[in-house]
Each structure stands twice: as structure tokens, then as C-alpha cells.
Amino acid sequence: MPQEHHGANDAKDQQLEQYRVHDEGKELTTNQGVPVDDDDNTLQAGERGPSLLEDFHFREKITHFDHERIPERVVHARGAGAYGYFEPYRSMADVTRAAFLADPEKRTPVFVRFSTVAGSRGSADTVRDVRGFAVKFYTDEGNFDLVGNNMPVFFIQDGVKFPDFVHAVKPEPHNEIPQAASAHDTLWDFVRNQPETTHMIMWLMSDRAIPRSYRTMQGFGVHTFRFVNAAGEGTFVKFHWKPKLGVHSLVWDEAQKIAGQDPDFNRRDLWEAIDNGDFPEWELGVQLVPSDREHDFDFDLLDATKIIPEELVPVTPIGRMVLNRNPDNFFAETEQVAFHTAHVVPGVDFTNDPLLQARLFSYLDTQLIRLGGPNFAQLPVNRPVADVHNNQRDGYHQMRLHRGRSSYSENSLGMGCPAAAGPDDGYQHLQETVDGAKIKRRSPSFGDHFTQAALFWRSLADWERDHVVDAFRFELGKCDTKTIREDVVAQLAHVDQDLAARVADGLGLDAPSPVQTASPSPSPALSMDNLAGDAGVATRKIAVIAADGADAGPLTGAMQAMAERGAVCEVVAPHQGTLDTADGPVEALRSLLTMGSPLYDAVLVAGGSRAVTTLLGDPSAAEFLGDAYRHGKAIGALGDGSRLLEAAGVPTTGRGIVTDERTDISGFVEAFADAVSAHRHWSR
Ligand code: HDE
């Protein structure tokens, strides 16, 4: 059955309807439409005889199967996608002529693909990595692709280094180890030889690299782009996506456990949220820099290893994006979607950022090999909702029936059509004077690789810094080459002496000798401590640990109250199915065997002496609670459920621990909801 979907029926959805296949009540046919009598047996000479070549159904079926795979993306192979819409808050016509940003009444359909970078298609979701955040806006003036990441900077400054970087981070070539992991010699060998990576490496070692959910990630366009208004005036622009649910991450121990417990953790979370009607939402913000202020900064706007600190240029919210529909088919849509940084619409333009310039070449090139020819824009997910008319013809998998004799311009036979739109309607590149010698040389304005790395470090909360130090120790600890560990620690001394010394200590190395470092004032906007948002417990997943004999009354009361606040509660018990309780049925959706604490945001333990006795005898219950505590999560216990905490070595009082010892059920729910909405309790 085709899935029910929410919020459908925008222009893109209507367009897709003509491609949807409805198999209900239909007979099996070949691709030629011939009905197939039997799909279980090959045509053969006699019941035990050899198969016959003339079984065209068998041959067609097997041949198609043999050709089912296309090359996976070289980077960002693993992803998850969804449809939705974007709407601006107000007209941005003063800075851009883009029509999709002009009218607050206008909703523009979007398709978004989130991804990891280094892993192959089948790798785990929760590895330490950058996340892709690519948005295709199907605007009335054509498709605009904002192909960003969840971190605001990049590893390199010039696109010519991209294959080197990717080769270094990918599995090593001799044995293809390790999969989807940066913790190996070649990546860190690249880092020590390429100091421009330092700022991005700080982000990669932070918890930003292990997001709790795609729904709780920021997104960034990374490069400085340009808006162009109707008068032809340019304004530099950086794009920011801010999640409504706040920015939240996992901790490393969880990320590793989830890679085993549910390798599809992030894609499942996105799918289920949309399926439940909890539509993920982001606010689009921009940092705008007038053209004449290009050189006002002590870094270069064209350098993708730099942010514009929000204290220098604030982020102005300009609209919101909501994802409200899961795709019909993963391959057709999420795999075949083709993003390209050069897919821009009138009013959006590029800058001379050498990384962006390289991308303008690479994405088209990669789609040609991946999707097998130049007609990939005709695939349903890629088709613009705007009309397409041009003289581009033929090629593999041409789906359109171009009519008439003329496929060239200027023509008179076709009445001059399709005719160039002219400057009013047509895309016009920003007119900019360019003058320079042909040289292969990096601008000196790209030369400071450490100040913003120090800015990031100095902006983090203590718990975030602890996690960064642990991450460096883990990653470098996995490197076999001692000089790599030493060199990277020496490199970190240029960021911060304390950071370098702590990493060195964990690796059993001497602290590097002090060097002169920059000491920028912190930027609060960079710390996740300040980005938690105010969404309360909305969509937080709570594991309810219970067993036969649980006190169902208070338990269902608490679960209902949490659900009313928007949380999602799942009963996890020693066995699945209905629990045997005296006061009303409790359905255990999951068992302790199939789920672990890392898959949830918080834990609630049921009371009831028979249930608690059973759980005390089940080591996985204690492990569940021990993990939840170690990972800073809220833990609530009803009645004698607190005995289970004691047995797991978890204190029954303290930050983020809530019992109903001195309160009634509504007081308990209030306190537990507060504890859950804090996401994590690092200071306990
Ligand atoms: Fe990409 N990148 N990239 N990239 N990138 C690709 O295009 C490339 C860069 C990003 O969900 C490829 O269709 C070069 C920065 C995302 O389909 C490829 C350079 C940023 C996605 C490619 C960069 C990104 C890609 C592989 C350095 C953040 C996934 C498959 C000059 C702003 C899009 C594909 C999706 C994918 C090239 C650097 C984001 C090979 C040459 C910086 C989100 O064309």
C-alpha cells in the first residue's frame, strides 16, 4: 500500500503523482506489459530438465536484478531524505530578487537529504563525522540547491585538495579499514601536514559530529554566497539553519553502542517523527555583509575554514522549513536526488571562494557518472516544478518527446523558440570586475589557521571541552604511527596549551612546549550549551522500564502526562506483549533484549514489588540504568522502582534524578518533565 502522507498536494507532490505506481489489484506483467503466468518456476525441458533460454520473463527479471545498483556517492553515500516546504517570514526583495524569498504567503516545496560523509551506503548512522544537510528548493523560477553541512566550516580552503582529504579520511586503500571512521593514521597524517584543517578538526572532535537526531542539527551553507537584488547590487550572505527542537548530540559511548543496537538510528528517527506527525522544523537565518564591507574582517570571507562570528554579524531569521512527508521509495528519491551547488535561481550567486568554485564543477560531473547520463534532471525527484524548455537533446534515458524540427538557436523555423528570457526574467550573473595574473598561490588573507580554532575551543562549556579532549585521545590513540600523535599534539598547542597538554596526557606524551596563541573572546553562539532551545520534552523518547506486577495506575498516569507534553513513551520489559498487572493493562512494545538506554533520551522506572524483584534479577535492567546515568540522562522512578536505581549504583537524588518519594504524581511529572527537557545533566 502506498503510505499515507501528511501535508501533501503541493506543486511537487502533484507532479510526483503521475510517477507513482499503484499495484493494488493488479496482475504481474513483464516490462513489456505481458501478463506472467508463473513467477516461481523457470521454463524448463521436463520437470527436472535444464532451463530454457526462451523464458523471457526469467531473463528479463534476472537481467534487471543484475543491474539494480548504481555507483554510490563518493562522499555522503549514506543518507536519508524527506519532503516539505519553505516559507519566508517577510520579503527579502531589498537584498535579493529571488521570488521564493519575496512573498510570505508563498510556500516553496523542498526535498532535504541528510547524510554522513565518510561511510559507505551501509555504514552506521552514529559514527563521528560531518553531516550533510542538502536542501533542494523547487521554486517557481527553477531549482535552488543549498548543499550544506551541519558544521559551518570545512577542512580545506581549495577544492584541488578535496580528493586528497577524502582519500585520507576514507578507509585505507590497502585493506579498506576502517569503515566510516576518522580514527586512523591516514586522516591524521593529512591533518598534521595541512594546518588549515585545524578549525574543522575542532568541530569534528566535538559532539557536533555525533548528532542525537537530524532534527536536532544546525545546518550551514559554509561558503559565503551572494544575494543580488533587482538593481543588480550584491550582498554577501552566509546561510544558517536552526532546528526548532534545539541542538542536541549523543555522547561517544552511546554513539558506539547505537552503531550496534540500531545502525539506522538517525534515519529511523527522521522517518518515525514524520510518520507520527511530529514534523521537523528549522528556521533559515542569514548573515548579510554589504559589498563595501568585504575587507572589514581579520579573516577572508572567501575562506571556507572561517565563520563570521555572530557577534560581528548577527544571524537574521528570514523563514522556516518544515519536513512533512517521507519519500515513497528510497532509491528513486533519496538515492537518485542530484544536488548541485550551481543550481541557483535569479537573486542567488556565488563568490570566488576557491572551494565553492571547485564544487561548481564537481557536482555535475559526479551526477553524470552516478546517474548515467545528462538527463538526470528528468528523474521525478529532480524535476523542477518550473517549466523546462531548451535545445538540449537526446542522451541516455531521454524521457521527453521534443517536437518540431529546430533544436538550435537562433531559429526561425520554430518561431525563435525557446527564446532567451532577457535580463528581467533570466538569470543574470552579478557583474563584477575581475583582474589578476594567472597564478597558483593561496592569498595571504587565508593564512591564519588557528585563531578561529581557538575561538571555538574557548567558546565551549566545560563538558563540551571534556568531550573534545576525549575525542582527540580516542582518535589519536587509534593511530599506529607515534610521530602522528606527537605532531598533532604540537599542532594543538597553537590552538590552546591546556587542550594540547590534556590530549598529550591521555596519550602518554610530554606536553608540547608553549607557543604564542591567539586569545579571542568566546562566541556564545558556538556552544551547544546555549542552543538547547525551549521545545520542552517535545518528541523526546522515554524508555519506561516495567515488568509483570508493575503498579499500572501511577505508571500509566505518568506516561499519559508525559505524552500530553509531547514526549514519546515506550514500555521496555523483560518480555514483549501485555504485562500482567493488577490495575489495568500495560503493553510492552519492546524488550530489554532488543533495546538499550542509548536509544532513548530518558528513563522512567515503574514501581510494584513483584515487578521490581523481577527487574532486580535481570542484569540488563541495571545496565540500562547505569548507561542512562553515565550518559547524563534524566531518570525517574515511581514507588519502589527506586530500589532498581540503588542496585544499578545510581543515586536516588541529585540532578536529573526524580522520584515520587516526597510528592504526588503531578509533582513527580512536573519535576520529571523539567529533567527530561534539560536533555542531559552534565554537572552531576
Ligand atoms: Fe560536497 N560533494 N564537495 N561538500 N557534498 C558531494 O556530490 C565536493 C563540500 C556536500 O545528499 C558529491 O552528489 C567537492 C562542502 C553534501 O546528495 C561530490 C568539495 C560541503 C553532499 C562533492 C566538496 C559539501 C555532497 C558526491 C570541495 C558543505 C551530499 C555525491 C571543493 C558546504 C549531497 C554528489 C546529497 C556531495 C564534491 C566540499 C556538502 C563528489 C569537490 C564544503 C551535503 O560532487
Side-chain-facing half-sphere of 664: CA atoms under 13 Å: 1
User: Which residues of the chain does CATH 3.40.50.880 include?
Assistant: 541-677
Give the pLDDT score at 579. Answer: 98
The whole-chain average pLDDT of the chain stands at 97
Contacts of 567 (CB under 8 A, 6+ apart): 537, 538, 539, 540, 541, 542, 673, 676
Residue 149 catalytic? Answer: yes
Measured in Å, residue 167 CA sits from the centre of ligand 1 at 14
Query: How far from chain centre, in Å, is Cα 502?
Result: 30
Return the residue whose CA atom lies nearest to atom 27 of ligand 1: 159
Q: Which tens digit of pLDDT belongs to each residue from 86-99?
A: 999 999 999 999 99
Measured in Å, residue 360 CA sits from the centre of ligand 1 at 10
Q: Phi and psi at residue 513, in whole multiples of 5°? A: -65, 145
Lowest mean per-residue pLDDT among 362-366, 381-385, 467-471, 679-683: 679-683
Test site for ligand 1: of 222, 359, 367, 376, most ligand atoms within 8 A of the Cβ:
359
CA–CA dist 527, 455 (Å, integer): 11
- pLDDT class for 7, splitting at 50, 70, 90? low
Give the pLDDT score at 6. Answer: 52
Catalytic hit among 9, 31, 64, 76: 76
Mean pLDDT of 46-64: 97
List the grid coordinates of 428.
543574470
Q: Which atom of ligand 1 is nearest to the CA of 163?
A: 41
Measured in Å, residue 363 CA sits from the centre of ligand 1 at 7
Contacts of 525 (CB under 8 A, 6+ apart): 309, 310, 311, 315, 459, 531
Return the residue whose CA atom lies nearest to atom 30 of ligand 1: 73
Return the residue whose CA atom lies nearest to atom 24 of ligand 1: 148
CA distances to 18, 41, 332, 652 from 31, in Å: 18, 18, 17, 65
Q: How many residues does the chain have?
A: 684
Strand partners, 134: 113, 147
User: Which residues of the chain does CATH 2.40.180.10 include?
Assistant: 79-378
Q: Which atom of ligand 1 is nearest to the CA of 223?
A: 32
- pLDDT class for 135, splitting at 50, 70, 90? very high
CA–CA dist 611, 582 (Å, integer): 11
Domain 79-378 superfamily per CATH: Catalase core domain (2.40.180.10)
Torsion angle in degrees (nearest 10) through CA of 402, 408, 414, 420: 100
Q: Which atom of ligand 1 is nearest to the CA of 113?
A: 11
The CATH number given to 541-677 is 3.40.50.880
- Say yes or no to pLDDT of 495 above 80: yes
| Percentage of the chain exceeding pLDDT 70 | 99
Measured in Å, residue 148 CA sits from the centre of ligand 1 at 8
CB-based contact 603:628 (threshold 8 Å): yes
Catalytic hit among 143, 149, 150, 326: 149
Element (H, E) at 240: strand 234-243
Q: What single-letter amino acid sits at 406?
A: S
CA–CA dist 541, 596 (Å, integer): 12
CB-based contact 673:559 (threshold 8 Å): no
Tell me the whole-structure pTM to 2 decimals.
0.97
Q: State the Cα angle at 309 between 304 and 315, rounded to 5°.
A: 100
Contacts of 564 (CB under 8 A, 6+ apart): none
| Percentage of the chain exceeding pLDDT 90 | 97
Measured in Å, residue 66 CA sits from the centre of ligand 1 at 28
Test site for ligand 1: of 70, 362, 376, 382, most ligand atoms within 8 A of the Cβ:
362
Element (H, E) at 323: strand 316-325
Residues with CB under 6 A from ligand 1: 73-76, 79, 113, 115, 132, 134, 147-149, 154, 159, 162, 222, 304, 337, 339, 355, 358-359, 362-363, 366
Q: Give 475-532 as a DSSP string.
A: HHHT-S-HHHHHHHHHHHTTT-HHHHHHHHHHHT-PPPPP-----PPP-GGG-GGG--
Q: Which atom of ligand 1 is nearest to the CA of 158?
A: 31
Measured in Å, residue 357 CA sits from the centre of ligand 1 at 12
CA–CA dist 3, 119 (Å, integer): 29
Give the pLDDT score at 541. Answer: 98
Residue 143 catalytic? Answer: no
Give the pLDDT score at 683. Answer: 83
- Say yes or no to pLDDT of 3 above 80: no
Mean pLDDT of 570-574: 98
Return the residue whose CA atom lies nearest to atom 9 of ligand 1: 359
Mean pLDDT of 494-500: 98
CB-based contact 234:432 (threshold 8 Å): yes
Query: Cβ-count burial of 662 within 10 angstroms (0-12 exposed, 13-18 middle, 19+ buried)?
Result: exposed
Return the residue whose CA atom lies nearest to atom 19 of ligand 1: 359
Test site for ligand 1: of 363, 364, 371, most ligand atoms within 8 A of the Cβ:
363
Test site for ligand 1: of 339, 357, 361, most ligand atoms within 8 A of the Cβ:
339
Return the residue whose CA atom lies nearest to atom 44 of ligand 1: 363
Give the pLDDT score at 9. Answer: 84
What is the C-alpha R_g of the chain? 28
The packing angle between helices 497-507 and 482-492, to 10°, is: 160
Name the region of 390 (left: φ>0; alpha: ψ -120 to 50; beta: rest): beta
Q: Which atom of ligand 1 is nearest to the CA of 355?
A: 31
Measured in Å, residue 77 CA sits from the centre of ligand 1 at 10
Q: Which atom of ligand 1 is nearest to the CA of 114?
A: 11
Element (H, E) at 266: helix 265-275
Measured in Å, residue 356 CA sits from the centre of ligand 1 at 10
CA distances to 12, 135, 214, 327 from 340, in Å: 19, 10, 21, 20
Mean pLDDT of 388-408: 97
Query: How far from chain centre, in Å, is Cα 434?
Result: 37
- Say yes or no to pLDDT of 331 above 50: yes
Report the top-level CATH class of 456-519.
mainly alpha
Measured in Å, residue 194 CA sits from the centre of ligand 1 at 20
CA–CA dist 203, 672 (Å, integer): 32
Give the pLDDT score at 4. Answer: 47
Measured in Å, residue 76 CA sits from the centre of ligand 1 at 7
Mean pLDDT of 240-260: 98
Query: Cβ-count burial of 590 within 10 angstroms (0-12 exposed, 13-18 middle, 19+ buried)?
Result: middle
Element (H, E) at 473: helix 462-477
SS3 state of residue 290: strand
Query: Cβ-count burial of 670 within 10 angstroms (0-12 exposed, 13-18 middle, 19+ buried)?
Result: middle
What stretches of 341-437 show up as alpha helix (H) in DSSP?
354-371, 422-425
User: Which residues of the chain does CATH 1.20.1370.20 include?
Assistant: 456-519
Return the residue whose CA atom lies nearest to atom 43 of ligand 1: 132
